[in-house]
Amino acid sequence: MRAPIRTVVVLAMHGSPPLDFPRDELQEYFMLEAKEHHHPHSGEPSPRLRELEARMRAFPRNETNDPFWTGSRELAAALEKACGLPVLLGFNEFCAPDLDETFDRAAGTGAERVVVLTPMMTRGGGHSERDIPAAIARAQARHPAVRFVYAWPFDTAAAAEFLARKIKDAAE
């Protein structure tokens, strides 16, 4: 019998529209999103905005039409290898799977703990400070037996040391 998984990692990435997504629909999406952001009517997105978002998230991805998606998958695989834990990838926007779906998948593995992190290194971002914690709170309410831990923010000194090593490597 297989031992239960104790910890699963969710890597929360930003997401990017695919380069070959129809331009007219992309423009409409951003116009609707901006309009609803500045003039929310009910707190819920319009049906058309939800339709466009779903279409964009489900749009086929590859390394040519979405290099960010490809890089995110590569980072998730490298992180899994480095930490020795299963790593699931979820996106804040534009790509599937979204964070809610990814947290449900993580909880569905039988994990006792889900560690959530994002490579967004500095404070002040809406995704890292609002959207990801809100998605974690929703997941915790859906899965009370699982402990969700947000491994963020990063220690500023540790982030600076990481970046300093990159500078040193580039200067050599």
Per-residue pLDDT tens for 123-146? 888 899 999 999 999 999 999 999
Lowest mean pLDDT among 66-70, 88-92, 147-151, 154-158: 154-158
Quote the tokens at residue 114. 């889900």
pLDDT in tens, 41-50: 666 788 999 9
The answer for residues whose C-beta is within 8 angstroms of residue 11's C-beta and 6 or more apart is 72, 75, 76, 79, 87, 88, 89, 90, 117, 118, 119
pLDDT range class, residue 3, cuts 50, 70, 90: low
The conformation of residue 110, written as its DSSP 8-state character, comes to T
Q: pTM of the full predicted structure?
A: 0.91
pLDDT in tens, 25-82: 999 999 999 988 777 666 678 899 999 999 999 999 999 999 999 999 999 999 999 9
d(CA 118, CA 146): 19
d(CA 159, CA 136): 23
